[in-house]
Amino acid sequence: MQPQPAGKFAIPVLVLTGFLGSGKTTLLNAMLKQPTLAGTAVIINEFGEVPLDHHLVENVGDGVIELANGCLCCTVRGQLVDTLAGLLARDPAPAAIIIETTGLADPLPVLSAILAAPEIGSRLSFRSLVTVFDAAGASDILGRFDEARHQVMLADRIVLSKTDLVEDAEGLTAITRHLGALNPQAAIQTAAEFLGEISAPGKHDWLQGIAPLTHHAGKPDEHAHHHHHHDINRHSERICCVTLRAGKPVRRSQLDLFLDLMLSAHGDHVLRIKGLVDIEGGERPLLVQAAGRRLSEPEFLPAWPDGVAGTSLVVFLDGMKPEFVADLFASATNRPSIDRADQQALADNPLAIGGMRFGGPKP
């Protein structure tokens, strides 16, 4: 990897990527607590109608900027360049910039777009492309999605998350070996090792000390055509995104019924569930997150984020009709219609939703 020439006052940039549910925001929060990254600005790209991740990033005040409802590698690259230009115009400018991509992003067009923008390229210096990788879902994700493989292959640093969910040391060794075969040049670390490195004494110039990235430098258009035609909510014919809302507070039993049916009967089709739920009788939002069949323990946030009210769950699906999921949620939250079951009917008979079967909806 050859160093990329940079101006004397170039601001270091780190791109943080990783597939849906890999744990990017969790790692980002842990990074931003380190004194070595004080003064860092964060750009978060979110996919879907309801942005949430930027509300979950802690302790950076107005340093978080959201690029919503599109993917950096497809539809909002121009916004990214404009946002970076705005950060460079600040006085003082940020000490460093971290760009967190959506889980469906291919990092190469992100890097290429910035390298090809002369108005900002000379003021920025890429220092690291960090891919967060869900060690517990390794073989499944890499085998099914090109995006996940590209994120691994382009990284100079791979951070393993959820290692506690891997059954044994041999399993973790096999995962590390697999990733190393895909990208022999990348450093592969656990999240604890990565955080320990950036927080070590004498690492106050941590980003400055990494050789700048040159992945495909000077080839900004090589993959451009491949990505221009992507729909805002699709990266393949199989993947889609649906936003679920409820007009009134949801009982916890209703939420549990929906999650149980989705993950037990259709977990193979669920890439990601993330959102806030207005629980009946409560004043605080319940944060719900799932990746595949794995449901994180829901937790109440201290307060509703500014500008956010009411239940809103974003569900990423692979090979499943969003209308089916919307009907299932409506039935579970007791919003029946003439041709839709209510909560009790659904609890008594999970097949009450047309097209529902264990193993997936009928095509």
pLDDT digits (tens, 9 = 90+) for 331-352: 888 775 545 455 555 555 554 4
Among 185, 126, 127, smallest CA distance to 152 is for: 185
Structural tokens at position 20:
């849906």
Between CA 54 and CA 66 the distance in angstroms is: 6
Query: Range(s) for CATH 3.30.1220.10 in the chain?
Result: 239-352
Q: What is the pLDDT of residue 273?
A: 92
Structural tokens at position 292:
């595949």
Cβ pair 111, 15 in contact under 8 A: yes
Between CA 16 and CA 103 the distance in angstroms is: 10
Q: How many CB atoms lie within 10 A of CB 94?
A: 17
Kindly write down the DSSP assignment for every residue of 217-246, as one continuous string.
TT-TTTTHHHHHT--TT-SSSSEEEEEEEE
**Rounded average pLDDT per 10-residue block, the chain, 363 residues:** 47 91 90 87 70 51 57 58 88 90 83 76 85 84 88 94 88 92 94 84 48 41 35 58 91 94 89 92 91 89 84 90 91 67 54 44 42
DSSP 101: P
Between CA 152 and CA 131 the distance in angstroms is: 6
CATH architecture of 11-228: 3-Layer(aba) Sandwich (3.40)
Compute the chain's Rg from CA coordinates.
21
Q: What is the pLDDT of residue 206?
A: 46
Q: What is the pLDDT of residue 184?
A: 95
CATH architecture of 239-352: 2-Layer Sandwich (3.30)
Report how far apart the first and last C-alpha atoms of the chain are (Å, whole number): 47
What pTM was estimated for this model as a whole? 0.75
Q: Collapsing DSSP states into helix, strand and coil, what is residue 292?
A: coil
pLDDT tens-place string over residues 259-304 = 999 998 888 899 889 889 999 998 899 999 898 888 989 999 888 8
Cβ pair 300, 282 in contact under 8 A: yes
Query: Range(s) for CATH 3.40.50.300 in the chain?
Result: 11-228
